[in-house]
A and B are shown apart, each in its own frame.
Chain A
């Protein structure tokens, strides 16, 4: 058995140690908010936080994250109150929505490290997250908006 710390809870899984974290989250732990897009760290749909850093769970073996703090979209807040979620709602960012868990996790990791990102910072942090619906202009605007919300006490 592997013991994991996910969204603040201690969870056990019988997944093989080389199973990608993505599939442990989705199949073994039922956390399907984290999405499968490419399996090769090319699209960002599977992005989660590992010790606060944006991490592609599709290429991260579960044995490598034992003892680390894993956070998924389900654990970003309990009530969609994270400033990134609030900004995403305000700007109606998602279309099909499939990539948005990954976008939100990448954006929230960026803002945790850089509370006032420039457009270039956003380009650099978000270039790994593909959106086929083309929501990029709203993602950019929503990251700036989330940065404002964090400064004005919108943080939960």
Chain B
């Protein structure tokens, strides 16, 4: 998902009674954030489960705790978000303890309206609320010291959790916390000026690294509870099918089997140990009502998208592209096809649940806590406030864990057996029951005038909508914003631009997949602009650059990428392609360098130039950029989920190939220094890889690849 700060809630932050302070039992300071827009300031004191709603706690024992309301899935939030607090408090990062926040409305993502780790929003959101919380806490602590010593606040200094007065007086934050908590919230506490940063902007080692080197990091699949049982789940092989009947007699006789439970999403076999459940699952005799998808296959999905008719929604309209296209002296037209993709997180879906008469505890690797909570509540027959959600580390998210489809069976099985149950999907379960990246059939039309100037571009997008299923109110009156990214914000200076989106559902669930519709639309727009460049007889870099006069940040990254990757200077036999985008408030350009080896594509290097505004932790920014490029490369080369008879045909990593060590090209990244507000970094680099390579392939062969993955064209 993309969320643009300029479009959404943060602008309203100033108008809200945003921060709240209160005393911590035992003498400390709690800074919480109350979304007054939700009308529930009382949320501050108590959330579901009686936990205080807080972001920041400073204890009388000098402890500093931040409740991180974003899930750590490798993108570094347990490091980058505490850095924002540590910066404002003038304490070392190591002094800030990280605790995963519970589920609660007060932890809603201020860009997205519910508690979500997604949309590359974590740092952008923390930039606003966590710096504000840190600045407030600091002002209150200093105020308490100033009162005690009867000195001016301006005469105080802070360092490493100690306030020092003009005469050398010293108080630790812990000593001041109780008095600070009794003070009114300062109205004018402003976050630090960039010139005073000690931590922000410095490459800082991740705090989660040590636990990821010795097996001690706890992912959802590692949760251990006393008396815990394990479950394997049999789901309809045809997507959307329903259970007709189950004969569990043979399975129930197998060693360790505790119970076979028919749940709302399949048949769960609960056993003392996981492998026993897994083996017994294979002994179930199952019969399925295959439902409406019994004959669904990929050819039908492709044909349906291509032939889709209906009223398209306008996502962008500058001038009159239709009229300008009619008047054009030269036209370029092309269509593009994109496949379904699986998320394939390394950690398969899993969930651990405990259900009693009036409580449910959920231990789950999730990106969407409140919806997980509501889903578990419905499955347990409880109210959401009776469900606690403990977010574990996530072994990859990529949007897959915005889905909650793996939760009900765990809850229902736990309720049925009266013991904690950990439900684990196999890799095959995971790959064949994903909410896949939407497929698309898109097209572009462009018109040049007699002088060779590009006068009109029309982009027509056709795909199913994730948002219509997950957040229906968002699309009630507006085009799905998460279907038209990288197209609605068409960067190039063309007088007549139209972007239209036609929603066409395909019968199976589609889901948000890292970089969401950027991964579709960057391929379309940047392939098409490349086609336009060649049609105009221009160098693809120069053609783009000439059209980016009004987009200085995009123009600069394009120029940096070209200069640093040696555009036009590829070694003999190597060929280059270029692509540029804006997404999540970040500007990127990539240059791919390839060769053709016996008719096949070989990617030698990909270089990415980036302007993501102020970096909080450059080390993590680089990780996300290179990691995103690898993710995009896997999808570009081989990524494709196909269906036959309503069943997904790829079951494991042999059939759904991803890039391995020996297939890695050289990756280069250059991030520009910038004082703009941070842009998102977890997703965008994914989206440019395919068009950069496709454009390089055209440069090498004169053949345009208009369908992904490249393997479908026999070249990868």
Contacts and interface: CB of A to CB of B under 8 A. Distances in A.
Interface stretch (B243-251, B388-396, B405-413, B695-703): B388-396
Interface in A54-104: 72-74, 76-77, 80, 85, 88-89, 92-101, 104
A132 B274 contact: no
Contact of A32 (B212, B224, B427, B629): B224
B400 to A, nearest CB: 10
Given A27-B230, A35-B221, A97-B74, A132 B652 contact: no
A132 B631 contact: yes
Interface in B426-442: 426-428
B197 interface: no
Interface string B195-222: 0000000000110111111111111011
Contacts of A47: none
A113 interface: no
B660 interface: yes
B459 to A, nearest CB: 29
B215 A39 contact: no
Contacts of B348: 36-37
Nearest to A140: B661
Contact of B74 (A33, A38, A96): A96
A137 interface: yes
19 contacts: A16-B276, A23-B274, A27-B273, A32-B222, A37-B347, A39-B426, A40-B653, A80-B213, A85-B214, A89-B205, A97-B208, A97-B211, A97-B219, A133-B631, A134-B630, A134-B631, A136-B630, A136-B661, A137-B626
Nearest to B216: A33
B73 interface: yes
B533 to A, nearest CB: 30
Given A40-B652, A97-B74, A28 B273 contact: yes
Interface residues of A, number: 59
Contact of A132 (B205, B218, B219, B398): B398
Interface in A94-144: 94-101, 104, 122-124, 126-137, 139-140
A43 B205 contact: no
A73 B214 contact: yes
Contacts of B210: 80, 89
Nearest to A102: B346
Contact of B209 (A16, A36, A94): A94
Given A38-B653, A97-B395, A133 B74 contact: yes
Contact of B393 (A19, A97, A124): A97
A50 interface: no
A100 B212 contact: yes
A101 B500 CA distance: 47
B223 to A, nearest CB: 9
A134 B206 contact: no
A95 B273 contact: no
Contacts of B396: 96, 98, 132-133
Interface in B332-361: 344-348
A36 B221 contact: yes
B658 A34 contact: no
